[in-house]
């Protein structure tokens, strides 16, 4: 089964539901709090049950529903170990494998750069890149331990080493695009294709992006899986 791609128009965030063919267990990646019921309806309609809730990183632009999904379904919460989310059940490290369903495996790749802890997840010829690699772009690198040097090394050294036909499913898109491939991004990505590390670092240093509106709410909430902190 192809990944099911769901969209949050407020933050332009993609959420994914993945399951093997004729399988009953599913994994959800980067769910958004306002869409918890929508996402559960998809899972139910497809006759699936959630095994894991995965985060690619601690998001600054929306609050996750990971904690609520765990409470409602019993799905295990899994986060990158470098993201500072102590309440998650699974702290993922580079090279880990997540198993679900009958034979499904997700390979965990640590791809620092957008944030220090960011991870990408490889499953059945697809890679879920969070904000590390976007379609014809990449995530910003100016907060949460971000580093343009690290992002360049993660993308060119790790993600571009995947087979060219690997499908790239990004964490965001702002132009109505849905999916790309590693080969296309290697040849065409406006920020990274054919650019030296020095050029890339200079480019990222000149972006002058505004601070995300929700960062002061979203980051603390997401460090507790989107649940209110107990007092």
Q: Does 55 bind Fe ion (CB under 5 A)?
A: no
Nearest distance from C-beta of residue 131 to Fe ion, angstroms: 4
The stretch among 66-74, 77-85, 126-134, 183-191 that binds Fe ion (CB under 5 A) is 126-134
Contacts of 95 (CB under 8 A, 6+ apart): 107, 108, 109
Q: Does 173 bind Fe ion (CB under 5 A)?
A: no
Please say which residue, 179 or 215, places its beta carbon nearer to Fe ion.
215
Out of 131, 148, 159, 170, the residue judged to bind Fe ion by CB under 5 A: 131
Q: Does 30 bind Fe ion (CB under 5 A)?
A: no
Please say which residue, 7 or 49, places its beta carbon nearer to Fe ion.
7
Nearest distance from C-beta of residue 139 to Fe ion, angstroms: 5
Please state at what angle helix 148-157 crosses helix 197-205, rounded to 10 degrees.
140
Q: How far apart are CA 195 and CA 72, in angstroms?
A: 46
Nearest distance from C-beta of residue 57 to Fe ion, angstroms: 6
Q: Does 96 bind Fe ion (CB under 5 A)?
A: no
Nearest distance from C-beta of residue 12 to Fe ion, angstroms: 11
Please say which residue, 19 or 218, places its beta carbon nearer to Fe ion.
218
User: Which residue has its beta carbon closest to Fe ion?
Assistant: 131
Q: Does 33 bind Fe ion (CB under 5 A)?
A: no
Please say which residue, 131 or 185, places its beta carbon nearer to Fe ion.
131
The stretch among 129-137, 149-157, 176-184, 202-210 that binds Fe ion (CB under 5 A) is 129-137
Nearest distance from C-beta of residue 130 to Fe ion, angstroms: 7
Q: How far apart are CA 152 and CA 35, in angstroms?
A: 32
Please say which residue, 131 or 173, places its beta carbon nearer to Fe ion.
131
Nearest distance from C-beta of residue 13 to Fe ion, angstroms: 9
Question: For residue 126, what are the β-bridge partners?
Answer: 123, 167
Cα–Cα nearest to 123, from 6, 13, 16, 30: 16
Residue 220 has phi, psi (to 5 degrees) of -60, -40
Q: Does 39 bind Fe ion (CB under 5 A)?
A: no
Q: What stretch of H or E contains 183?
A: helix 182-188
Which sign, positive or negative, has the C-alpha torsion 96, 98, 102, 104? negative
Sheet holding 76-80, edge to edge: 4-8, 13-19, 25-29, 49-54, 76-80, 90-92
Q: DSSP letter string over 196-217?
A: -HHHHHHHHHT--PPPPTTHHH
Question: For residue 114, what are the β-bridge partners?
Answer: none
> Where along the sequence are the contacts to Fe ion (CB under 5 A)?
131
């Amino acid at each position: 089964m192809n990944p099911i791609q769901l969209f949050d128009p407020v933050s332009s965030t993609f959420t994914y539901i993945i399951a093997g063919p004729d399988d009953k267990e599913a994994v959800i990646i980067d769910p958004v709090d306002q869409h918890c019921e929508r996402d559960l309806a998809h899972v139910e309609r497809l006759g699936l049950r959630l095994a894991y809730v995965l985060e690619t990183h601690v998001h600054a632009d929306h609050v996750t529903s990971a904690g609520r999904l765990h409470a409602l379904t019993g799905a295990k919460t899994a986060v990158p170990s470098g993201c500072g989310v102590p309440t998650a059940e699974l702290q993922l490290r580079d090279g880990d494998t997540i198993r679900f369903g009958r034979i499904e495996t997700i390979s965990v790749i640590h791809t620092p750069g957008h944030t220090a802890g960011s991870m990408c997840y490889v499953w059945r010829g697809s890679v879920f890149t969070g904000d590390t690699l976007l379609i014809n772009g990449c995530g910003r690198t100016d907060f949460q331990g971000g580093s343009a040097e690290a992002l360049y090394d993660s993308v060119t050294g790790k993600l571009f080493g995947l087979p060219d036909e690997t499908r790239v499913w990004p964490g965001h898109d702002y132009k109505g695009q849905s999916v790309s491939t590693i080969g296309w991004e290697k040849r065409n990505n406006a920020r990274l294709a054919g650019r030296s590390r020095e050029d890339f670092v200079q480019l990222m240093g000149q972006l002058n992006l505004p601070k995300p509106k929700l960062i002061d709410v979203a980051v603390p909430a997401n460090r507790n899986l989107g649940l209110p902190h107990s007092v």
